[in-house]
Amino acid sequence: MADAQPVDVDVTPEKDHGVLYLGIDLGTSRTSVCASNGVRETIESFVGYPKDPVAQKLLKKDVLFGQEARDKRLSLNLYRPLEHGVLKFNDGGAEDTEELRAARDLVKEIVRLARPRKDELVYAVIGVPAQASIHNKDAILQAARESVDSVMLCSEPFSVAYGLDMLEDVLVIDIGAGTVDLCRMHGTMPEDADQITMTTAGDFVDKELAKEVSAAFPEAQFTVQMIKEIKERYSTVEETTERILVTLPVQGKPTEFDITDAMRTACQRIVPPLVEGLGKLIATFDPEFQEKLKNRVLLAGGGSQIRGLDRAIETSMHDNLGGGRVIRIEEPIYGGANGALKIAHDMPEDFWEQLK
């Protein structure tokens, strides 16, 4: 969905003449872009190719993206090119996988949605998981270089903090579909020791919710995508909440189920590993600044929208770490892309020339 509101960045006309700067959050579930021309777009990270000539005739397209690809998935070879936040590999390397082709097409589509002019250079900063491997970073760069003139990568939690100008004594939690990225900021570029990546993220919650629903209602029929949509609509860790009633088929007959307990249990399972990770980053930080660090925790990413999650993390931090304060960012979908765009603007022109 387009958002015509301009992004809050400092544009210097002399520097930006003929250049479109993009901040891209390349995610397992959603890919978002913020552009220096004011465009903001997000699409689901699905890419689909027609299975056969009949599907090609029906769809009249060579490639479909986002919700359209998901809706037409029975006619498609459907890919979600990033798993756990990074490109999938086989032993021959990413160049041998359909996922890399899908990643190239996904980046091309998100750049197209940013509406660059034909006479503009396109400089992009792409957010990737905090501990993405060298091989995966190279593969993402390779996927992007066909669509942009110059590109750099940054860690997703760093881009969130940079966009909010919170670069000192801050812990960032970025919960996506594939990964939870933790990063501590202390006034410099974060190093490997400052970052932790875990897979107890949105996809993990989907699997846990599916297990809980199956155990409670073995007669209910559902798909992973149905569970994901239910989670995105109703996710909560709150004890006092309205009952969550959903309709699922039983032998073809629509039937109502109360999944309140199942939803709460599944969502709460991300809290213990998350707080354990925070504890590791706090315990290995300068003792003089540990208290300040744990009282400035930023909660970002699509998973931050789970109702009550900020308070649940605070409660667990109090029980296990002796306290803490969690701040939920205002724009979970665009937080990473906003920060990546700000980084793109702040990089000097000669830096981009060196990357080309």
Chain position carrying tokens 């905090």? 130
At 156 the pLDDT is 87
- The CATH code of the domain that includes 210 is 3.30.420.40
At 206 the pLDDT is 96
CA–CA dist 75, 195 (Å, integer): 41
Chain position carrying tokens 């998901």? 70
Assess whether 345 and 221 both reside in one domain. no
pLDDT digits over 83-96, tens only? 766 666 544 444 45
* DSSP reduced 3-state for 130: coil
Average pLDDT over residues 38-58: 95
* Number of neighbours of residue 4 by Cβ within 10 angstroms: 7
* Number of neighbours of residue 172 by Cβ within 10 angstroms: 31
Please check whether residue 260 lies inside any domain of the structure: yes
Among the listed residues 127, 123, 98, the one whose alpha carbon sits nearest the alpha carbon of residue 111: 123
Paired tokens of 124: 């992009």
CA–CA dist 183, 296 (Å, integer): 12
Backbone torsions φ then ψ of 43, nearest 5 degrees: -135, 155
At 10 the pLDDT is 37
pLDDT digits over 54-76, tens only? 999 999 999 999 999 999 999 99
CA–CA dist 90, 78 (Å, integer): 18
At 86 the pLDDT is 63
60's CB contacts (< 8 A; 6+ apart) are none
Paired tokens of 210: 């599916």
CA–CA dist 176, 202 (Å, integer): 6
Q: How far is CA 317 from CA 203, 282, 292, 295, 310, in A?
A: 24, 11, 14, 10, 11
Please check whether residue 131 lies inside any domain of the structure: yes
Assess whether 27 and 155 both reside in one domain. yes
Among the listed residues 46, 104, 55, the one whose alpha carbon sits nearest the alpha carbon of residue 75: 55
Please check whether residue 297 lies inside any domain of the structure: no
Q: Which of 268, 294, 311 is the last residue of a domain?
A: 268
At 3 the pLDDT is 38
How many structural domains compose the chain?
A: 2
Query: Is the pLDDT at 12 greater than 60, yes or no?
Result: no
Backbone torsions φ then ψ of 250, nearest 5 degrees: -130, 110
pLDDT digits over 133-185, tens only? 667 788 888 888 889 999 999 888 899 999 999 999 999 999 988 889 999 99
Q: How confident is the model at residue 345 (pLDDT cuts 50, 70, 90)?
A: very high
Assess whether 346 and 212 both reside in one domain. no
Please check whether residue 274 lies inside any domain of the structure: no
At 84 the pLDDT is 60
Q: Domain range spanning residue 240?
A: 202-268
Q: Which amino acid is at 67?
A: Q
Q: How confident is the model at residue 4 (pLDDT cuts 50, 70, 90)?
A: very low
Chain position carrying tokens 């998981």? 129
Chain position carrying tokens 């996927």? 143
Q: Which of 268, 284, 308 is the last residue of a domain?
A: 268
The answer to whether 283 touches 171, Cβ cutoff 8 Å, is no
Assess whether 103 and 157 both reside in one domain. yes
Helix (H) or strand (E) holding 265: helix 260-268
Q: Please state the length of the chain.
A: 356
At 72 the pLDDT is 94
Q: What is the mean pLDDT of the chain?
A: 88
At 138 the pLDDT is 83
Indicate the pairing of strand 297-300 with strand 326-328: parallel
Please check whether residue 129 lies inside any domain of the structure: yes
At 9 the pLDDT is 39
pLDDT higher at 346 or 100: 346
Query: Is the pLDDT at 105 greater than 80, yes or no?
Result: yes
Q: How far is CA 10 from CA 21, 298, 343, 347, in A?
A: 12, 23, 11, 12
Assess whether 153 and 214 both reside in one domain. no
Chain position carrying tokens 């940079």? 162
Least confident of 81-90, 122-131, 194-203, 232-241: 81-90
The answer to whether 84 touches 202, Cβ cutoff 8 Å, is no
pTM of the model: 0.83
CA–CA dist 53, 50 (Å, integer): 8
Assess whether 130 and 210 both reside in one domain. no
What percent of the chain is predicted at pLDDT more than 90? 71
Assess whether 123 and 247 both reside in one domain. no
Q: How confident is the model at residue 130 (pLDDT cuts 50, 70, 90)?
A: confident
Crossing angle of helices 224-234 and 260-268, rounded to 10°: 90
Q: Which of 237, 252, 268 is the last residue of a domain?
A: 268
Average pLDDT over residues 261-280: 97
Please check whether residue 225 lies inside any domain of the structure: yes
pLDDT higher at 90 or 109: 109
CA–CA dist 258, 108 (Å, integer): 42
132's CB contacts (< 8 A; 6+ apart) are 85, 86, 140, 153, 155, 197
Query: Is the pLDDT at 8 greater than 50, yes or no?
Result: no
Please check whether residue 58 lies inside any domain of the structure: yes
